[in-house]
Chain A
Amino acid sequence: MTKETDYRTEVTPVWCPGCGGFPLLSSLTRTALPDLGIPRHQTLIVSGIGCSSRIPGYVDTYGFNSLHGRAVLIAQGAKLANPELTVVAIGGDGDFFSIGAGHLPHAVRRNVNITCIMVNNFVYALTKGQTSPTTPFLQRGEGPFLSLENYPPVDPVLDMVSYSVSTRASFIAQGIASDVSHLSWLIEEAVKHKGFSFINVLTPCVTFEPPQFFKTIREKASYLKEGEPVELPDSSGQQPWLHDPSNITLALELAQTPVLEKPHIGIIFRGRSV
C-alpha cells in the first residue's frame, strides 16, 4: 500500500525549526492520507498565502499554492468540476479569517464536500509578526502578547470556531499541533464527512510568540469525548454537560469558551452528511 514517503515531495520546507507546520505535514503524509487510502492523484490540496500555505509543495498529491485568502474558492471550483477528487484547503488564520473571511460563510452554506484546515498560529508570521484576527486581545496593563509591546492588538478576536458554528458548518473540529495522532484522526474524520468540514488547528509560532503562549494552550487543552462530561473553564458558571457533537446549541456553548482558558480539542459539531 501507499507509504508515508509516497506522500512527501523532495522539497524541504521553508518553515522555522519547531514550526507547527511540521506536525500538520506529518499528520497528513504519515497518517491521514495513507490511512484514508485515497489515491494520490485523486487528492488536491489548495492553499492560500502564508507560512502554512507552503504545504502543497511538500505533499505529493495534486497541489496549488494560490492567492492570499482564496484557497477555499479554488478548492470548491475543483470539487464541483470533478466530484471524484478529495479536496483539502489549507491556510492560516490571516488567510481564512482576515482576507478570505468573506468566502467562508458561503462555502458553509453551499456545503460543498471539501475540508478546510485552518492552521491557526494567532499571528501573521510570514510577514514577521503582525497581529491577525485571532491574536489574543489583552487589555493594556495586562502585559503584551507576542512581540507586540508597542502595538498590541486593539480589536477583539474574531473567534473562528464560534463563527463556523454560527454559520452552521456541517463539521467543525479543533485540533492541536502538539498531538499529531489526534490531529490525523480529526483530518480523516473531516475528509470522510460528506459536506463542508472545518478544522481549526491550534498551532505554535516559535518565532513570533513567547514560548509560554502555546505551552499554556497545550497544558489547558481538554479533549472532547462523545458521551463524556465536557470540561469548562473556572470562569464558567455552567454545569458540565455530556458532549454531544450532533447538538448545535451545545456546540455553540463549547465554541464560545475562550481558547486561552479552555481549548476544547476534538469534534465540536458533526451534522448530517449530505
Chain B
Amino acid sequence: MRDRLTIGIAGTGGDGVVVLGSLLQRLAASQGYFGQMPRYYGPQIRGGASGLKLSLDTTRASLPADTVDIMVCFNWEKYAELRQELPLGTDSIVFYDNAPPEEGISLPEKSFQVGFSEISKELTGKTSAKNIVVLGLLERILALPESLSDSATVHDSALALLERNGPALDAGKRLLPEFAFAELKLSPPKDATPRTVLHGNSAAAQGAIRAGCRTFFGYPITPASEIMEEMQERLNHGNGVFLQAEDEIAAVGLAIGASLTGAKSMTATTGPGLDLMTEMMGLASSAEIPLVIVDVQRCGPATGIPSKSEQSDLNHAIYGGHGDAPRVVLAAYSVKGCYRLAIESFNISEYYQTPVILLTDQRLGQATVATNSDFLTKDYSIARRKRPDGEHREQYRRYELTEDHISPVASAGDEGFIYQTTGLTHNEKGRPSFDFATNQRMHEKRWQKLAPLRDRDELVKLFGKEESGRGIVAYGSSAQFVLETVEDLGLEGQVKVCVPELIHPLPRRLISFVGSLERLLIVEMSHSGQLHRYLRSEVDLPSDTKSYARAGGAAFSREELAGPITELAR
C-alpha cells in the first residue's frame, strides 16, 4: 500500500493522453485523493508529443516524483521528445501499446506490452478508446474504489465519454489479474471529501471574479490563454465586459479605460505581452490608476520556449519601463495562492491606486491540482478605492497630498468630482506641471504610498525552525520544489525556507529572515539569477550566500535540488 505515487503518460496528440490523465485525476479526486498533474507538450499545433505526470496522494497535493512509478506509453517516438521531463526509473513499471525502437530506449525490468489499441478495436471498432482501457487497468492496479466512475461529482463531456465507453473500461479492469502489483495499491485517502481540481490559470481567473472583477481584456498567448478563456466564460453572459483585443497594448489600454470609470479590470499575459504592456504600466503608475496584470511566466527571452516555465520576468515586473514608476509585484507559489493573490492583487491595486503585477508561471498556471476546495468558499476581505466625499465637492483635487499619500479618487461619471488627468508630470489637481518641486513631490507620493505594504507579514510565508541559521529563499512554483525537497531530505530541522508572495516593495519580514541567517541559498529558474540580484540590491545578504539559478524548461527535480540544499545544511 502506498500513500502517494506518480503516474506518467506519454503519446501523440490524439492518443487521449490528457483525457486519460484528467479522468484519472478527477475520479481519484472525487474519492478524496489529492495530487498534481503537470502537462508536457511540444511546439506542434496538433499531433505533437503529449505527456503528463500525475501524482496521487492520500493527504496533500504533493508534487509528482522525479521518476514515475507507473508509465503508460502510447508512442515511443513521441516519448523520446518528452524523456527529459518523463524519465523512467529502474523501478518504474511500464505499460506500452507498441514495441519500442530497438535503440535509444532502455526499458526497466517490469515493462509490459499490452494491446490497448487492439482491445479497443475489438470492442468499439476503433482504437480511440485505448486510453479508457488503460484507465480501467489503472483503476484496478491502484485499487481505487469500484464505483468510482459513477460517483464522480462533476458531469461533463469527458465523463460522458467514459460512460459511452463502459465496455472498454471494463475490459481494462479485466486485465488486472495479469498485472496485480500489490505494492502499487493506494491507501484510502485521509477522508473521502471530494477534492476540487483546477489549475493556477483557472484559480487566478476565479479569484479575480471573487474580487469583483467584471471587466477583462486579453490577447491569446501561451501559457496564459486559459485565464482569458475562463474570464470569457464567466463574463460573457451579461455578467460583465469581456473583450479579446487586437494586441496586448490594446488589452491593457482597454483595462485602464475601464478602470477610470471605477471598474475593477484585469488583463493576463506572459513575457512578450508584458513587454508590450510596459508603457501602459508606467501610465497607470503615474496617473495612479488601479490595474491588475497577471503574468504567467514562460521561458524567454524573445519567443523562448512558450510552453515551459521560467522565472525570468522578475526584473521586468519590478523595473520594466522608463522613468521611476512604482508598482506592486506579487507572486503565487500554489494554485490556492493564485486564487488568494488574485483577490489580493485587486485589493492592493484598488486601495493603493497602482498597477499590480501578479506573477505565476507556466507550471503553476497549467498543472491541474486536486486539492481541498475550502479556499474557494472562505471569506476574503475586499478593499475599495478611497472615494471623495462631500467635503471634496467642487474643489476636488484628484492628487491631493494626504497623510497616507493616497488621494481620494472619483470615477469618470461621478457628479461633483470632475477632473482631468494626464501622464504628464502633474500637480494635485491633475494639471500638467513644469514645476520641478512638484515633480519631486509627486514621485515621493507615489513611492511612499506603497511603503505600508512592506509590513504585510502574511504575504511572506516562513517554514521550518526560526532558530535555524541556514535558510532558502524561493518564490513561485520553484518554492514548492524547494519545500518538498527539504522535507524529503529530512532537513526541516536544519534548513528554514522563506517564500515571499509580496516581491516588491520588498517586505520587511523577508529582510528579517535573511538577516537571521549565516548561510543563505536563493533558488530560482532564471539564468541570470534575477531574484538574487534583486535581493542583493536591497538587502545586505550573508557573506555565505549561494545562488542556485538556471534557465527554465524542465521543472526542478528533487534530485537536482538535493545537491545545493544538502550543501546548505552541511
Contact = CB atoms under 8 A, between A and B. Distances in A.
B424 interface: yes
B423 A73 contact: no
Given A82-B261, A82-B413, A57 B420 contact: yes
Contact of B241 (A62, A67, A75, A80): A80
Interface stretch (B146-154, B181-189, B252-260, B437-445): B252-260
B420 A77 contact: no
A77 B215 contact: yes
Instruction: Give the interface centre of B217, B413, B417, B420 by most chain A CB atoms within 10 Å.
Output: B420
Interface in A51-84: 54, 56-57, 59-67, 70, 73-82, 84
B431 interface: yes
Given A63-B421, A65-B424, A76 B257 contact: yes
* Nearest 10 CB-CB pairings of A with B: A77-B257, A73-B253, A63-B420, A77-B254, A81-B258, A74-B257, A65-B422, A82-B261, A81-B263, A78-B257
B64 to A, nearest CB: 41
B401 interface: no
Interface of A: 9, 11, 39-42, 44, 46, 54, 56-57, 59-67, 70, 73-82, 84-85, 102-103, 106, 110
Contacts of B217: 77
B418 A60 contact: yes
B250 interface: yes
B35 to A, nearest CB: 40
Contacts of B263: 81-82
Contacts of B416: 41
23 contacts: A9-B420, A11-B431, A39-B415, A41-B418, A44-B413, A54-B432, A57-B420, A62-B412, A62-B413, A62-B419, A65-B420, A66-B256, A66-B422, A67-B279, A70-B280, A73-B245, A73-B256, A74-B253, A74-B256, A77-B254, A79-B257, A81-B259, A85-B412
Contacts of B431: 11, 57
Contacts of A9: 420
Interface centre among B246, B261, B279 (most CB of A within 10 A): B261
Contacts, number: 125
A85 B418 CA distance: 13
Contact of A80 (B249, B254, B411, B413): B254
A102 B420 contact: no
Contacts of A84: 413
Given A70-B280, A77-B217, 9 more contacts: A41-B418, A46-B257, A57-B432, A77-B253, A77-B255, A77-B260, A77-B265, A82-B263, A84-B413
Nearest to B283: A67
Contacts of A80: 215, 241, 243, 254, 257-258
Given A56-B420, A62-B419, A66-B423, A74 B254 contact: yes
Contacts of B287: 64
A66 B258 CA distance: 14
B523 to A, nearest CB: 38
Given A67-B423, A81-B263, A75 B257 contact: yes
A44 to B, nearest CB: 5
Contacts of B412: 44, 62, 78, 82, 85
Contacts of A44: 260-261, 412-413
Interface in B80-95: none
Nearest to A39: B415
A41 B414 contact: yes
A84 B417 CA distance: 16
Interface string B279-292: 11001000100000
A65 B418 contact: no
A65 B283 CA distance: 10
Nearest to B217: A77
B118 interface: no
B286 to A, nearest CB: 10
Contact of B283 (A39, A66, A102): A66
A57 B246 CA distance: 29
Given A57-B422, A65-B420, A85 B413 contact: yes
Contacts of A57: 420, 422, 431-432
Contacts of A66: 253, 256, 283, 422-423
Contacts of B253: 66-67, 70, 73-74, 77
Interface string B515-555: 00000000000000000000000000000000000000000
A42 B415 CA distance: 8
Contacts of A110: 243
A59 B261 CA distance: 18
